[in-house]
Amino acid sequence: MAPLFRIIALFTCLLVSRAWGAPPNPDLTRARQLLENLRYTEASRALDAARERPGNERTTLLQILELQGVVAAMLQQPAKARSAFQTLVVLAPDHQLMGDYAPRVVTPFFEAKGWVAEHGAALRLEAAPASKSERSVERVAARVTTDVLKLGRTVRFHFRTGGPLWREEERPLTESAASVEVSGKRVQWWAELLDERQAVLVTLGSANAPVTETALPLQALTHSPTDTPGLRSTPLRIASYVCLGVAAGTGAVGGYFGLRSRSARAEVEGAAVNDGGLTTGLTQAEAFALDARARSNARLANVLFGVAGAVAITGGTLWVLGAPVTVSATPTGVTLGGKIP
Protein backbone atom coordinates (compact mmCIF):
# COMPACT_ATOMS: atom_id res chain seq x y z
CA MET A 1 0.00 0.00 0.00
CA ALA A 2 2.87 2.39 0.77
CA PRO A 3 4.25 2.41 -2.80
CA LEU A 4 0.73 2.94 -4.15
CA PHE A 5 0.20 5.89 -1.79
CA ARG A 6 3.52 7.43 -2.90
CA ILE A 7 2.50 7.13 -6.56
CA ILE A 8 -0.88 8.75 -5.87
CA ALA A 9 0.75 11.60 -3.89
CA LEU A 10 3.30 12.19 -6.65
CA PHE A 11 0.59 12.22 -9.33
CA THR A 12 -1.47 14.66 -7.23
CA CYS A 13 1.47 17.05 -6.78
CA LEU A 14 2.11 17.01 -10.51
CA LEU A 15 -1.54 17.88 -11.18
CA VAL A 16 -1.46 20.72 -8.65
CA SER A 17 1.73 22.12 -10.18
CA ARG A 18 0.21 22.20 -13.66
CA ALA A 19 -3.10 23.60 -12.42
CA TRP A 20 -1.51 26.52 -10.62
CA GLY A 21 1.01 27.34 -13.34
CA ALA A 22 4.55 28.54 -12.85
CA PRO A 23 4.68 30.83 -9.77
CA PRO A 24 6.96 33.88 -9.68
CA ASN A 25 8.12 33.12 -6.12
CA PRO A 26 11.37 31.05 -6.37
CA ASP A 27 10.82 29.42 -2.95
CA LEU A 28 7.41 28.25 -4.11
CA THR A 29 8.99 26.79 -7.25
CA ARG A 30 11.51 24.93 -5.12
CA ALA A 31 8.75 23.69 -2.81
CA ARG A 32 6.89 22.21 -5.79
CA GLN A 33 10.00 20.36 -6.91
CA LEU A 34 10.47 18.95 -3.43
CA LEU A 35 6.83 17.85 -3.35
CA GLU A 36 7.26 16.03 -6.66
CA ASN A 37 10.04 14.04 -4.94
CA LEU A 38 7.82 13.52 -1.84
CA ARG A 39 10.32 15.37 0.35
CA TYR A 40 7.62 16.86 2.57
CA THR A 41 9.79 18.18 5.41
CA GLU A 42 12.03 20.14 3.06
CA ALA A 43 8.99 21.27 1.09
CA SER A 44 7.46 22.61 4.31
CA ARG A 45 10.56 24.71 4.98
CA ALA A 46 10.55 26.00 1.40
CA LEU A 47 6.88 26.97 1.72
CA ASP A 48 7.59 28.83 4.96
CA ALA A 49 10.34 30.74 3.14
CA ALA A 50 7.96 31.45 0.26
CA ARG A 51 5.40 32.84 2.71
CA GLU A 52 8.03 35.09 4.32
CA ARG A 53 9.14 36.52 0.98
CA PRO A 54 7.69 40.07 0.71
CA GLY A 55 5.30 41.23 -1.99
CA ASN A 56 3.48 38.00 -2.91
CA GLU A 57 0.58 38.46 -5.32
CA ARG A 58 -2.80 37.19 -4.17
CA THR A 59 -2.77 34.10 -6.42
CA THR A 60 0.74 33.21 -5.23
CA LEU A 61 -0.29 33.66 -1.60
CA LEU A 62 -3.29 31.35 -2.04
CA GLN A 63 -1.04 28.68 -3.61
CA ILE A 64 1.40 28.89 -0.70
CA LEU A 65 -1.35 28.61 1.93
CA GLU A 66 -2.98 25.61 0.24
CA LEU A 67 0.30 23.73 -0.09
CA GLN A 68 1.27 24.62 3.51
CA GLY A 69 -1.97 23.03 4.68
CA VAL A 70 -1.51 19.99 2.47
CA VAL A 71 2.11 19.39 3.52
CA ALA A 72 1.36 19.94 7.23
CA ALA A 73 -1.46 17.41 7.01
CA MET A 74 0.83 14.91 5.26
CA LEU A 75 3.37 15.41 8.05
CA GLN A 76 0.62 14.84 10.63
CA GLN A 77 0.72 18.43 11.90
CA PRO A 78 -3.04 19.10 12.23
CA ALA A 79 -2.73 22.44 14.05
CA LYS A 80 -0.46 23.92 11.36
CA ALA A 81 -2.66 22.47 8.61
CA ARG A 82 -5.78 23.93 10.20
CA SER A 83 -4.14 27.38 10.60
CA ALA A 84 -3.01 27.46 6.95
CA PHE A 85 -6.41 26.35 5.70
CA GLN A 86 -8.24 28.86 7.92
CA THR A 87 -6.18 31.72 6.50
CA LEU A 88 -6.74 30.38 2.98
CA VAL A 89 -10.54 30.22 3.37
CA VAL A 90 -10.70 33.61 5.13
CA LEU A 91 -9.10 35.12 2.03
CA ALA A 92 -11.05 32.99 -0.47
CA PRO A 93 -14.25 31.48 1.01
CA ASP A 94 -15.14 29.71 -2.25
CA HIS A 95 -11.70 28.19 -2.72
CA GLN A 96 -11.53 24.51 -3.66
CA LEU A 97 -8.49 22.27 -3.23
CA MET A 98 -6.59 21.80 -6.49
CA GLY A 99 -5.99 18.10 -6.02
CA ASP A 100 -7.65 14.84 -4.96
CA TYR A 101 -6.24 14.52 -1.45
CA ALA A 102 -6.46 11.91 1.28
CA PRO A 103 -8.88 12.37 4.22
CA ARG A 104 -6.06 13.58 6.46
CA VAL A 105 -5.86 16.66 4.15
CA VAL A 106 -9.51 17.09 3.23
CA THR A 107 -10.79 16.91 6.83
CA PRO A 108 -8.91 19.97 8.24
CA PHE A 109 -9.72 21.90 5.05
CA PHE A 110 -13.46 21.41 5.47
CA GLU A 111 -13.14 22.10 9.20
CA ALA A 112 -11.60 25.45 8.25
CA LYS A 113 -14.47 26.12 5.84
CA GLY A 114 -17.00 25.39 8.57
CA TRP A 115 -15.17 27.66 11.05
CA VAL A 116 -15.11 30.59 8.60
CA ALA A 117 -18.80 30.15 7.76
CA GLU A 118 -19.78 29.87 11.43
CA HIS A 119 -17.86 32.99 12.48
CA GLY A 120 -18.56 35.05 9.37
CA ALA A 121 -14.79 35.47 9.11
CA ALA A 122 -14.39 36.04 5.37
CA LEU A 123 -12.12 39.05 4.84
CA ARG A 124 -13.77 41.93 2.96
CA LEU A 125 -12.50 45.26 1.65
CA GLU A 126 -15.23 47.76 0.74
CA ALA A 127 -15.42 51.32 -0.54
CA ALA A 128 -16.16 53.91 2.15
CA PRO A 129 -17.94 57.23 1.43
CA ALA A 130 -15.72 59.57 -0.56
CA SER A 131 -15.10 63.19 0.40
CA LYS A 132 -16.28 65.41 -2.45
CA SER A 133 -17.56 68.88 -3.29
CA GLU A 134 -19.20 70.52 -6.28
CA ARG A 135 -15.75 71.16 -7.75
CA SER A 136 -13.95 67.85 -7.27
CA VAL A 137 -13.55 64.53 -5.50
CA GLU A 138 -11.10 65.26 -2.70
CA ARG A 139 -10.54 61.90 -0.97
CA VAL A 140 -11.42 58.25 -1.56
CA ALA A 141 -11.47 55.63 1.18
CA ALA A 142 -11.69 51.89 1.79
CA ARG A 143 -12.60 49.98 4.93
CA VAL A 144 -12.15 46.42 6.16
CA THR A 145 -15.48 45.04 7.31
CA THR A 146 -14.22 41.77 8.82
CA ASP A 147 -10.69 40.78 9.80
CA VAL A 148 -10.97 38.10 12.47
CA LEU A 149 -7.35 36.98 12.04
CA LYS A 150 -6.04 40.59 12.08
CA LEU A 151 -4.17 40.15 8.81
CA GLY A 152 -4.56 43.59 7.20
CA ARG A 153 -1.93 46.28 7.73
CA THR A 154 -2.04 48.73 4.81
CA VAL A 155 -4.12 49.58 1.75
CA ARG A 156 -2.50 50.20 -1.61
CA PHE A 157 -4.59 52.65 -3.64
CA HIS A 158 -4.44 52.90 -7.43
CA PHE A 159 -6.18 55.96 -8.86
CA ARG A 160 -6.36 58.24 -11.87
CA THR A 161 -8.13 61.56 -12.49
CA GLY A 162 -8.77 61.58 -16.21
CA GLY A 163 -5.48 60.44 -17.75
CA PRO A 164 -4.57 56.87 -18.73
CA LEU A 165 -1.86 56.47 -16.07
CA TRP A 166 -2.54 55.04 -12.61
CA ARG A 167 -0.98 56.60 -9.52
CA GLU A 168 -0.16 54.32 -6.60
CA GLU A 169 -0.03 55.21 -2.90
CA GLU A 170 -0.12 53.12 0.29
CA ARG A 171 -1.88 54.14 3.49
CA PRO A 172 -1.91 52.35 6.87
CA LEU A 173 -5.15 51.01 8.28
CA THR A 174 -6.53 53.18 11.08
CA GLU A 175 -9.58 51.79 12.85
CA SER A 176 -10.08 49.36 9.95
CA ALA A 177 -10.09 52.12 7.31
CA ALA A 178 -7.67 53.99 5.07
CA SER A 179 -7.99 56.91 2.67
CA VAL A 180 -5.95 58.86 0.15
CA GLU A 181 -6.19 62.43 -1.11
CA VAL A 182 -7.16 62.88 -4.76
CA SER A 183 -8.32 65.79 -6.88
CA GLY A 184 -10.52 65.64 -9.93
CA LYS A 185 -14.05 65.98 -11.22
CA ARG A 186 -14.05 62.24 -11.97
CA VAL A 187 -11.79 59.79 -10.14
CA GLN A 188 -11.34 56.09 -10.90
CA TRP A 189 -9.67 53.91 -8.29
CA TRP A 190 -9.14 50.42 -6.95
CA ALA A 191 -7.32 49.08 -3.92
CA GLU A 192 -5.44 46.12 -2.45
CA LEU A 193 -5.33 45.12 1.21
CA LEU A 194 -1.80 44.12 2.23
CA ASP A 195 -0.46 42.16 5.18
CA GLU A 196 2.71 42.80 7.17
CA ARG A 197 4.82 41.24 4.37
CA GLN A 198 3.14 43.33 1.65
CA ALA A 199 1.33 40.27 0.33
CA VAL A 200 -1.98 41.02 -1.37
CA LEU A 201 -4.80 39.64 0.78
CA VAL A 202 -7.94 40.86 -1.02
CA THR A 203 -8.73 43.49 -3.64
CA LEU A 204 -11.45 46.07 -4.20
CA GLY A 205 -12.11 46.62 -7.89
CA SER A 206 -9.38 46.32 -10.49
CA ALA A 207 -7.72 48.24 -13.30
CA ASN A 208 -10.36 46.84 -15.65
CA ALA A 209 -13.27 47.40 -13.25
CA PRO A 210 -12.40 50.40 -11.05
CA VAL A 211 -14.59 52.24 -8.58
CA THR A 212 -15.70 55.59 -10.04
CA GLU A 213 -16.41 58.73 -8.00
CA THR A 214 -17.66 62.03 -9.45
CA ALA A 215 -17.99 65.52 -7.97
CA LEU A 216 -21.35 66.59 -6.58
CA PRO A 217 -23.76 68.05 -9.18
CA LEU A 218 -24.41 71.79 -9.05
CA GLN A 219 -27.73 72.57 -7.35
CA ALA A 220 -29.62 75.55 -8.85
CA LEU A 221 -31.71 77.65 -6.49
CA THR A 222 -35.39 77.70 -7.42
CA HIS A 223 -37.05 80.78 -5.93
CA SER A 224 -40.67 80.56 -4.87
CA PRO A 225 -42.78 82.66 -2.48
CA THR A 226 -41.83 80.35 0.37
CA ASP A 227 -38.14 80.20 -0.58
CA THR A 228 -37.54 83.94 -1.17
CA PRO A 229 -35.15 85.42 1.39
CA GLY A 230 -36.93 87.74 3.82
CA LEU A 231 -39.05 87.61 6.96
CA ARG A 232 -41.58 84.98 7.89
CA SER A 233 -44.31 85.69 10.46
CA THR A 234 -44.73 83.34 13.39
CA PRO A 235 -48.09 82.00 14.65
CA LEU A 236 -47.92 84.25 17.74
CA ARG A 237 -47.38 87.33 15.59
CA ILE A 238 -50.38 86.36 13.44
CA ALA A 239 -52.52 85.86 16.59
CA SER A 240 -51.41 89.29 17.81
CA TYR A 241 -52.76 90.87 14.62
CA VAL A 242 -56.12 89.17 15.21
CA CYS A 243 -56.26 90.40 18.81
CA LEU A 244 -55.36 93.94 17.84
CA GLY A 245 -58.04 93.89 15.14
CA VAL A 246 -60.66 92.68 17.63
CA ALA A 247 -59.56 95.35 20.11
CA ALA A 248 -59.89 98.05 17.46
CA GLY A 249 -63.39 96.85 16.48
CA THR A 250 -64.57 96.58 20.08
CA GLY A 251 -63.21 100.04 20.84
CA ALA A 252 -65.07 101.46 17.84
CA VAL A 253 -68.36 99.94 19.02
CA GLY A 254 -67.72 101.26 22.52
CA GLY A 255 -67.11 104.71 21.05
CA TYR A 256 -70.41 104.49 19.21
CA PHE A 257 -72.34 103.75 22.42
CA GLY A 258 -70.37 106.45 24.21
CA LEU A 259 -71.51 108.97 21.60
CA ARG A 260 -75.13 107.85 22.01
CA SER A 261 -74.86 108.30 25.77
CA ARG A 262 -73.34 111.75 25.34
CA SER A 263 -76.06 112.68 22.83
CA ALA A 264 -78.88 111.60 25.18
CA ARG A 265 -77.28 113.45 28.07
CA ALA A 266 -76.89 116.57 25.93
CA GLU A 267 -80.55 116.40 24.87
CA VAL A 268 -81.67 116.34 28.50
CA GLU A 269 -79.29 119.08 29.55
CA GLY A 270 -80.13 121.26 26.52
CA ALA A 271 -83.93 121.21 27.00
CA ALA A 272 -85.69 124.64 27.47
CA VAL A 273 -86.50 125.79 31.02
CA ASN A 274 -88.89 128.54 32.32
CA ASP A 275 -88.21 131.36 34.72
CA GLY A 276 -88.73 129.06 37.65
CA GLY A 277 -85.97 126.64 36.44
CA LEU A 278 -88.38 123.90 35.35
CA THR A 279 -87.87 122.02 32.07
CA THR A 280 -90.52 122.92 29.50
CA GLY A 281 -89.02 121.34 26.31
CA LEU A 282 -89.42 117.77 27.55
CA THR A 283 -92.02 115.94 29.50
CA GLN A 284 -90.97 114.27 32.70
CA ALA A 285 -91.35 110.83 31.10
CA GLU A 286 -89.16 111.84 28.14
CA ALA A 287 -86.50 113.24 30.45
CA PHE A 288 -86.41 110.03 32.50
CA ALA A 289 -86.21 107.92 29.33
CA LEU A 290 -83.31 109.97 27.93
CA ASP A 291 -81.50 109.81 31.26
CA ALA A 292 -81.91 106.01 31.41
CA ARG A 293 -80.68 105.66 27.80
CA ALA A 294 -77.65 107.79 28.54
CA ARG A 295 -76.73 105.74 31.59
CA SER A 296 -77.23 102.39 29.73
CA ASN A 297 -75.14 103.46 26.75
CA ALA A 298 -72.44 104.76 29.06
CA ARG A 299 -72.25 101.46 30.94
CA LEU A 300 -72.11 99.47 27.67
CA ALA A 301 -69.44 101.78 26.27
CA ASN A 302 -67.35 101.36 29.43
CA VAL A 303 -67.62 97.55 29.22
CA LEU A 304 -66.60 97.57 25.54
CA PHE A 305 -63.70 99.92 26.22
CA GLY A 306 -62.52 97.54 28.99
CA VAL A 307 -62.74 94.53 26.72
CA ALA A 308 -60.93 96.41 23.94
CA GLY A 309 -58.16 97.40 26.36
CA ALA A 310 -57.67 93.80 27.60
CA VAL A 311 -57.61 92.38 24.07
CA ALA A 312 -55.20 95.12 22.98
CA ILE A 313 -52.83 94.25 25.85
CA THR A 314 -53.00 90.55 24.88
CA GLY A 315 -52.33 91.41 21.24
CA GLY A 316 -49.39 93.59 22.18
CA THR A 317 -47.89 90.78 24.28
CA LEU A 318 -48.30 88.27 21.45
CA TRP A 319 -46.78 90.75 19.01
CA VAL A 320 -43.63 91.02 21.14
CA LEU A 321 -43.37 87.27 21.76
CA GLY A 322 -44.06 86.36 18.14
CA ALA A 323 -41.27 88.32 16.47
CA PRO A 324 -40.76 87.05 12.85
CA VAL A 325 -37.75 84.95 11.83
CA THR A 326 -35.44 85.58 8.89
CA VAL A 327 -35.71 83.20 5.94
CA SER A 328 -32.94 82.62 3.39
CA ALA A 329 -32.81 80.28 0.41
CA THR A 330 -29.95 77.77 0.12
CA PRO A 331 -29.11 75.07 -2.46
CA THR A 332 -30.59 72.46 -0.15
CA GLY A 333 -33.73 74.31 0.92
CA VAL A 334 -34.90 77.14 3.17
CA THR A 335 -32.86 78.18 6.19
CA LEU A 336 -34.50 79.87 9.18
CA GLY A 337 -32.40 82.45 10.95
CA GLY A 338 -32.86 84.35 14.21
CA LYS A 339 -35.84 86.41 15.33
CA ILE A 340 -36.19 90.02 14.26
CA PRO A 341 -37.40 92.34 17.07
Question: Residues 91-144: pLDDT tens digits?
Answer: 999 999 988 888 999 999 999 999 999 999 999 999 999 999 888 999 999 999
> What total of structural domains would you count in the chain?
3
- Cβ count near 303 (within 10 Å): 13
The torsion angles phi and psi of 99, rounded to 5 degrees, stand at -145, 170
Residue 233 has pLDDT above 70, yes or no: no
Does residue 336 lie within any of the structural domains? no
Residue 128 sits in the same domain as residue 105:
no
* Same-domain status, 318 and 252: yes
User: Phi and psi at residue 325, in whole multiples of 5°?
Assistant: -105, 155
Instruction: For residue 310, name the pLDDT band (cuts at 50, 70, 90).
Output: confident
Q: What CATH number is given to the structural domain containing 146?
A: 2.60.40.1940
Closest listed residue to residue 82, CA positions, set 114, 119, 43: 114
Q: Which domain holds residue 249?
A: 235-322
Based on the fold, state whether residues 113 and 13 are members of the same structural domain: yes
Domain assignment present for residue 334? The answer is: no
Question: What pLDDT is attached to residue 303?
Answer: 73
Q: What is the pLDDT of residues 157-170, one digit of tens each?
A: 999 998 889 999 99
pLDDT for 171: 96
Q: How many residues does the chain have?
A: 341
Q: Is 315 within the bounds of a domain?
A: yes
Q: pLDDT tens digits, residue range 242-293? A: 777 776 777 777 677 667 767 766 666 666 655 555 555 556 666 667 667 7
pTM equals 0.59
Q: Long-range contacts for 323-328 (Cβ within 8 Å, ≥24 apart)?
A: 323/234, 323/237, 324/231, 324/232, 324/233, 324/234, 324/237, 325/231, 325/232, 325/234, 326/229, 326/230, 326/231, 326/232, 327/227, 327/228, 327/229, 327/230, 327/231, 327/232, 328/229
Max mean pLDDT range (29-43, 228-242, 270-284): 29-43
Residue 168: strand, helix, or coil: strand
103 shares its domain with 129? no
- What string of DSSP letters covers 211-260? EEEEPPPP------TTTSSEEE--HHHHHHHHHHHHHHHHHHHHHHHHHH
